[in-house]
Structure 1
Amino acid sequence: MQAGGLAEILAPCLSVVFCGLNPALSAARDGHNFSNRSNRFWRVLHLAGFTPRLLRADEEREMLRYGLGLTSAVSRPTKSASELKNHDYVNAAPALESKIRNFAPANLAFLGKAAYAAISLRTHVEWGRQPDEFAGVSIWVLPNPSGLNRAFNLARLTEHYRELKLAL
């Protein structure tokens, strides 16, 4: 269980665990991950082929049926992920590493560059599969599906997520 009462969607040996930067205040209030209507996570998962139908935030546990999981790099909810600093990600990294080692998914997909850049001490991170591993698993960096991320329209977001889906 993350801060704010949000459930982590985790089980052993999943194909991929999606790792959000941190929970939104709206998600903490609603009690479900990616519950804000402007967030495109559930739509992108479906359009990229991870789920056979569009899931709602209150159906988040259904992800497990498709070999998918969900966690956050930092468990503290904020109005915007821009409120987090590098040290927040670095301080949260040991708990994330322990969790990933324990559940051993095949892939960990960071949703946005900030957490992975801070944790890996990289100043430049490309989208897609990363050359190194974290906690013994393959790493992907995908664009953040937040409605605040205006740099990626739905089609471009879906392309990046589909790249991971096709690699599974």
Structure 2
Amino acid sequence: MTDVLSDLLQHSLRIVLCGTAAGTTSAAERAYYAHRQNKFWKILHETGLTPELLRPNQYRNLLQYRIGLTDLVKAGVGMDRATLPKLTAVDRARLSNAIATFRPRFLAFTSKTAGEKFFDSKRDYGEQLEPIGDTRVWILPSTSGAANGSWRPEIWHRFADEVRAANARESH
């Protein structure tokens, strides 16, 4: 089975945002975070990670802001709580190898489910203790409309502040 959505990865990224798998709307539209109730594009703009509000079909524009995209499970489609293909060691290794290759400053899972599946353990939101090489790893609240009950934009804002602080240290 081929990847539902191609990775948006290259060298010199500041951030790679990683979901669990493409949702059904995203798969149909061939665009990341495409469901109209998903807050992903709005929170990227609200936190200042993107200077403009992008639409899902403009996801490739994230590269100009040094932001990349991927998913843990590349061949599966569905919501986190739906039955996704079981995350395998191959999926974990694929993501770890991509991060080791492209070396972004940050990897942020865009849901607790994605982060917990990657680490194979219960986790809290925020920065994780285990980096991947030099890449700092965060778990952020899901932007999915289905996860409104656990929506905490302040964690996304804290993440954006850390990204800015790291950039400021880098430029001095």
| Shorter-chain TM-score range | 0.7 to 0.9
Count of residue pairs brought into register by the alignment: 161
Other-structure match for 2:157: 162
Does the Cα contact within 8 Å between 2:78 and 2:84 map onto a contact in 1? Answer: no
Other-structure match for 2:38: 39
TM-score (norm 1): 0.87
Does the Cα contact within 8 Å between 2:76 and 2:84 map onto a contact in 1? Answer: no
Other-structure match for 1:137: 135
Inter-partner Cα distance in structure 1 for 2:34 and 2:46: 18
Q: Deviations over 1:67-101 (max 9, x none)?
A: 1111001113323222236x425441011111111
User: Where is the strand percentage greater, Structure 1 or Structure 2?
Assistant: 1
Q: Deviations over 1:87-138 (max 9, x none)?
A: 425441011111111111011001112232233232x311111111135411
Does the Cα contact within 8 Å between 1:90 and 1:119 map onto a contact in 2? Answer: no
Structure 1 stretches (4+) deviating beyond 6 angstroms?
none
Inter-partner Cα distance in structure 2 for 1:12 and 1:81: 29
The correspondence of residues 18-167 of structure 1 with structure 2, limited to 5 A, is: 18-82=17-81, 83-84=83-84, 87-88=86-87, 90-122=89-121, 124-153=122-151, 156-157=152-153, 159-167=154-162
The runs of 5 or more residues in structure 2 that have no matched partner are 164-172
TM-align CA RMSD: 1.7
Does the Cα contact within 8 Å between 1:21 and 1:73 map onto a contact in 2? Answer: yes
Identity in percent: 28
Does the Cα contact within 8 Å between 1:129 and 1:140 map onto a contact in 2? Answer: yes
Distance 1:89 1:23, change over 3 A: farther
Inter-partner Cα distance in structure 1 for 2:145 and 2:133: 30
TM-score (norm 2): 0.85
Secondary structure at the counterpart of residue 17 of structure 1: strand
Q: Deviations over 1:23-52 (max 9, x none)?
A: 012111111111110111001100111111
